[in-house]
Structure 1
Amino acid sequence: MHDLSILAIIWVSVFVASYFAHKTRLTPVLWYLFCGAVLVNLGILPEEMPVFITDFAELGIIVIMFALGFEEETGNFLRSIKRSWGIALFGAIAPFLVAYSLAMVYWDNHNLALMCGLAMTATAVSLTMVSLKSEGLSNRPAATGIMTSAVLDDIGSLALVAIMVPLATGSASVSVDGILLILGKAVAFFVIVTAIGGWLFPAKAGFLKNIPVIGNFGLRDVLSMGRGEYTILALLLIAVTVGLLAHEFGFHPAVGAYMAGLIISREYFDFHQESEVDFHKHAREIIDNVAFSWIGPVFFVSLGTELIFHGEILVSVMEEAIILFIALFVGQVLSAALAAKYTGGFDWPESWMIGFGMLGRAELAFVVMDIAYVQHQIMSIEAFYTLMLACFMLNCSVPLTIRWWKSKYATSG
C-alpha cells in the first residue's frame, strides 16, 4: 500500500472519529485511538507503519505540544514547577512499584519486573493535554501542574532508563558518571531554552543588540516578514528545531516543542500597526487547526494501531492485564492527587483532575517495551501483551475520567 493511501485512510478515520465524538459527547482522542485499533486489526492499516507515517505522526505531536505551550503563560509554568515536584516524584514511584510487584507475582523474573516497572513510570502528557483542550480546560492550573510534573517526570524517567536498562540487560553496570550525565544534559537543555527565550528571541532588547547581524534581527523581525505571510512557517520551524534540540538532549521532541511555544511572547506579534489583523490570534487559530484537526490526530490514530489482537494470547493475559490496569489506575490517581494536594497546595478538585490526567502511557512505555521485548528479549510475549493492554486501557481512561470529573472540577477555583 502506498504511504499516501495510508495517510488518506487515517484522515478518513479522523472524520469518523470526530463524528462519533460529536454524537457521544466524548473527546475525539478516545475515538482516534479506537479507530486506529480497529483499522489495524481489520488489516486495513499495516501493523508496521512506514517511516513516512511514523515521522508524520511525530510531527503531529510536536505541533500539538507547541500549540499547547503557545497558549500557556511562561510565568504560570515557572510558578507551577515549585508546586509539581511532589506530583512528579510520588506519581512515578507508585506506578513503578505497582507494575514491578505484579510482574514479580505473574512471572517471577526480576529483570522482566524491572522493565515492566520502568515502562509504567512516565506519563503520556500529550494525551492528557489534548483531552483537557477538548474540554476547554487547558488553561486551568491543573493542566499546567500536569505539564510541569510530566517534564520533571521525564527527567527522572530518563535517569531510571540509564540505571535500569543496563542492569536488566546485563550489558553494563550502573555508572554514577552516566547518571550525572543524564541529569547534566537535562539542566543544560533547560538553560539553553531559557537563553533562547530570554536573549536570542528579543535580541534587540538584550545584550545581544551589540552583536553584529544578530543584534538587528530578533524574532519579531522574522515573524513580520512579508507582512506576516511567513509567521506560521517561522513558528513551525521553531517548534521542530527546539524539538530536535530536546531529542539531542535525550527528551522526546514534544517536550522541546512545548517549551518552544512557552517562550514565544505575544509582544513578538506587535507588528504592521496599520493592519487590522491580530497576528497573534490569527497565528494561534492556524496552529490550533493544524495541531488538532489534520496533523495531530494522525499521532493518536497511529498510537491506536499499537494494540494488535492475537486471540489466544489476548485471552490468556486478559485477567493479568485488567488487574494491572486497576492497580495502576488506583495507584497513579491516588499518588498524584495526594501529592498535588499536600505538596503542591492544589485544592481537591484540581488534585483529582491532576491524578486523572497522569494516567496516560505512551512514548516512554513503548520505548522501554521495545528495548525489553524486541532488542533484548527480556520480556515474554505474554508480558508484552499484558503491558500493551494495560496501556491501552489507561489511555482510554484519560479522556473518560476527565470528561466525568469536569462537571465537579469546572466549578472550582
Structure 2
Amino acid sequence: MELLRNLTLILLATTIIGHYSTRIGIPAVIGQLLVGVVIGPAMLGWINPTHVLESYAELGVIILMFIAGLESDLQLLKRYLKPSVLVALMGVLIPVVGTYLVGMFYHLGVVESLFISVIFAATSVSISVEVLKEMNALNSREGTTILGAAVVDDVLAVVILSVLVSTTGTAVGDSAAASSNLVLTTIEQIVYFAAIYFVVRWLAPYMAKIGDRLMIPMGQTLMAIILCFGMAYIAELVGLSDVVGAFFAGIAISQTSAKSTVDRHIEPIGYALFIPVFFVSIGLNMDFNGLGKQLGFIVVLTVVAVLTKLIGAGSGAKLAGFSWVSSTAVGAGMVSRGEMALIIAQIGYAAKLMSPVRYSAIVAAIIVATLIAPFLLRVTMDRAHKGEIDRSKVRPTE
C-alpha cells in the first residue's frame, strides 16, 4: 500500500510541476528533481528512499538512455568520435585535479581526496539527455558529442575507480587479487564493446524480425526491451554502468526496421511511470541534517565541480575545433553528476574511503550540481543554436 501511495504522490506532483516548469520556460526535469527535494527527507518528509523506489528509478534511467540511443544518429556518433574522446578525457582530468585540491585544502588526506576526485570525474548524462530531448537537440553536433563523451567518461570513471579501490585494498581482499580482478575487468569490458558490433550488425535485426512474427501485441517492442535489459545487465556484470548497455541497445534497435514502432511504444512506458520516479529519486537523496557545519565545504565543492567539468569538457570540445559557444554548451552538458556520482560515492562509503560526515556533504554537492546542470545546458544550447542561425544568415552573403 505504501508503494501505491508513494507512486501516486510522485506522479501527481511531477505532472503538475512539470507542466508549470515547461510553461515558464524551465526544463521539466528541474521541477521533477525539486519535487524529490521537497517531498523527501530534506523538507516535508512525505516519502523516504526505499528499495522498491530505487528499483523503479533504475528502470527509469535504463529506459531513458535506451530512448536516447534509439533516437541517436549512429553516423553522427561515428563522425564525432574524436571530439567525444577529447571532451571525455579533459572532462575527467580537470575535475580530478580540481576536486583533489579541494580535498587537500580541507585536510581530508590523500586517499579520501582522491576518491572525491573520482566521484566528481563521473558524468550522468541522463539529465542532459532529457533537456536535449526537450530542445530537439539530441542529434545536434553538441548533443551527439555529449552522448559520445558520456560513454567514454563512464569507462574512464570505472577504470579510475577500480585502480583506486585495488591500490587502497580496503574493499577487496589482497593487492594481488585486486590487480588480477582489474585486469580481468578491463578484458571483459573490451570484449563487451567489441560484441556491440555483433549486436548492431546481426542480433538486433534478427530479434526485430522475430518480434514482427510474434502473434502477441507489441512483439517488436518486447524484443527490444529484452535486448535493452539484457545488454544493461551484462554491462553491469563487466563493471560498466547499466546505462551504457541500455544506450547501445537503443543504438542497435535504431538500425532496424522496428525503430519507429519501438520508439512509439517505449516512450509512454518510460515517461508515464519510471522516468519521473528516477528524477524524483535523486532529490530524495538530499538530507539537510547535520550539513550546517559542512556548508562551506559543500559550496566550494559544488562550485569547483561545476566549473571544472564546464572548463574541462569545454576545452576538450574547443581542442576538437568547436566554437567557444558550442564548446561551452558541450561542457554544460557534462556538468550533471546524478546517479553515476551517487553510485560511486556509495561504493566509497561502503569501502570506508570517506567519513560519514563527508559522505553526506558530498551527496549534497552532487545533487546541487545536478540541479544547476540543466539550467546551464539550456542557456548555453540556446546561445549555440542562435549562433548557428546567425552564421547561416551571414554565409550566403560572404
User: 2 CA distance for matches of 1:33 and 1:337?
Assistant: 25
Match in the other structure for 1:237: 226
1:7 equivalent to 2:7? Answer yes
User: 1 CA distance for matches of 2:216 and 2:347?
Assistant: 49
For 1:134, the aligned partner's letter is E
Please list, as runs of the form range in 1=range in 2, the aligned pairs for 1:32-43 lying within 5 A after superposition. 32-41=32-41, 42-43=44-45
User: 1 CA distance for matches of 2:35 and 2:309?
Assistant: 26
How many percent identity over aligned positions?
24
Match in the other structure for 1:289: 268
Tell me how far 1:348 sits from its aligned partner.
2.6
Q: Is the 8 A contact 1:40 1:305 kept in 2?
A: yes
User: 2 CA distance for matches of 1:411 and 1:181?
Assistant: 47
Match in the other structure for 2:392: none
User: 1 CA distance for matches of 2:108 and 2:222?
Assistant: 53
Counterpart selection for 1:391 from 366, 379, 387: 366
Alpha-carbon spacing, 1:350–1:290, altered in 2? closer, same or farther (3 Å)? farther
Gaps of 5+ in 1: 204-217, 270-279
Alpha-carbon spacing, 1:293–1:143, altered in 2? closer, same or farther (3 Å)? farther
Match in the other structure for 2:87: 87
User: 2 CA distance for matches of 1:372 and 1:338?
Assistant: 29
Alpha-carbon spacing, 1:380–1:221, altered in 2? closer, same or farther (3 Å)? closer
Alpha-carbon spacing, 1:165–1:364, altered in 2? closer, same or farther (3 Å)? farther
Q: Is the 8 A contact 1:74 1:263 kept in 2?
A: no
Tell me how far 1:227 sits from its aligned partner.
8.2
Mean Cα deviation higher: 225-234 or 120-129: 225-234
Q: Is the 8 A contact 1:131 1:398 kept in 2?
A: no
Counterpart selection for 2:325 from 349, 372, 391: 349
User: 2 CA distance for matches of 1:221 and 1:371?
Assistant: 40
For 1:117, the aligned partner's letter is S
Match in the other structure for 2:148: 148
Alpha-carbon spacing, 1:52–1:108, altered in 2? closer, same or farther (3 Å)? closer
Say which SS state the counterpart of residue 137 (structure 1) adopts: coil
Please list, as runs of the form range in 1=range in 2, the aligned pairs for 1:207-356 lying within 5 A after superposition. 219-226=208-215, 229-265=218-254, 267-269=256-258, 280-310=259-289, 313-342=290-319, 344-356=320-332
Alpha-carbon spacing, 1:173–1:101, altered in 2? closer, same or farther (3 Å)? farther
Q: Deviations over 1:156-200 (max 9, x none)?
A: 111111111233454543755444323222211111121111122
RMSD across aligned C-alpha pairs, in angstroms?
A: 2.1
Match in the other structure for 1:45: 47
Q: Deviations over 1:87-122 (max 9, x none)?
A: 111100111111111111113312211211111111
Alpha-carbon spacing, 1:77–1:223, altered in 2? closer, same or farther (3 Å)? farther
Counterpart selection for 1:196 from 176, 195, 199: 199
For 2:330, the aligned partner's letter is I
Match in the other structure for 2:175: 173
Q: Deviations over 1:46-65 (max 9, x none)?
A: 1x41x322111111111111
Q: Is the 8 A contact 1:155 1:183 kept in 2?
A: no
1:134 equivalent to 2:123? Answer no
Tell me how far 1:376 sits from its aligned partner.
3.5
Alpha-carbon spacing, 1:376–1:252, altered in 2? closer, same or farther (3 Å)? closer
Tell me how far 1:265 sits from its aligned partner.
3.8
Alpha-carbon spacing, 1:81–1:180, altered in 2? closer, same or farther (3 Å)? farther
Tell me how far 1:228 sits from its aligned partner.
6.5
Match in the other structure for 1:359: 335
Q: Is the 8 A contact 2:205 2:256 kept in 1?
A: no
Say which SS state the counterpart of residue 295 (structure 1) adopts: helix
Q: Deviations over 1:351-394 (max 9, x none)?
A: 11110011011233222322333x23332233223212221121
User: 2 CA distance for matches of 1:168 and 1:267?
Assistant: 46
Tell me how far 1:11 sits from its aligned partner.
1.3
TM-score w.r.t. length of structure 2:
0.90
Match in the other structure for 2:354: 379
For 2:269, the aligned partner's letter is V
Alpha-carbon spacing, 1:71–1:108, altered in 2? closer, same or farther (3 Å)? closer
Q: Is the 8 A contact 2:200 2:253 kept in 1?
A: yes
Q: Is the 8 A contact 2:61 2:275 kept in 1?
A: yes
For 1:150, the aligned partner's letter is A
For 2:279, the aligned partner's letter is F
Alpha-carbon spacing, 1:410–1:292, altered in 2? closer, same or farther (3 Å)? farther
Mean Cα deviation higher: 81-90 or 15-24: 15-24
Alpha-carbon spacing, 1:88–1:2, altered in 2? closer, same or farther (3 Å)? same
TM-score w.r.t. length of structure 1:
0.87
Q: Deviations over 1:317-339 (max 9, x none)?
A: 11111111112222111111111
User: 2 CA distance for matches of 1:267 and 1:358?
Assistant: 29
Alpha-carbon spacing, 1:108–1:267, altered in 2? closer, same or farther (3 Å)? closer
Count of paired positions: 383
User: 2 CA distance for matches of 1:267 and 1:362?
Assistant: 31
Say which SS state the counterpart of residue 264 (structure 1) adopts: helix
User: 1 CA distance for matches of 2:354 and 2:146?
Assistant: 30
User: 1 CA distance for matches of 2:216 and 2:355?
Assistant: 58
User: 2 CA distance for matches of 1:168 and 1:62?
Assistant: 31
User: 1 CA distance for matches of 2:205 and 2:226?
Assistant: 17
Match in the other structure for 1:275: none
User: 2 CA distance for matches of 1:125 and 1:369?
Assistant: 17
For 1:408, the aligned partner's letter is R
Say which SS state the counterpart of residue 40 (structure 2) adopts: helix
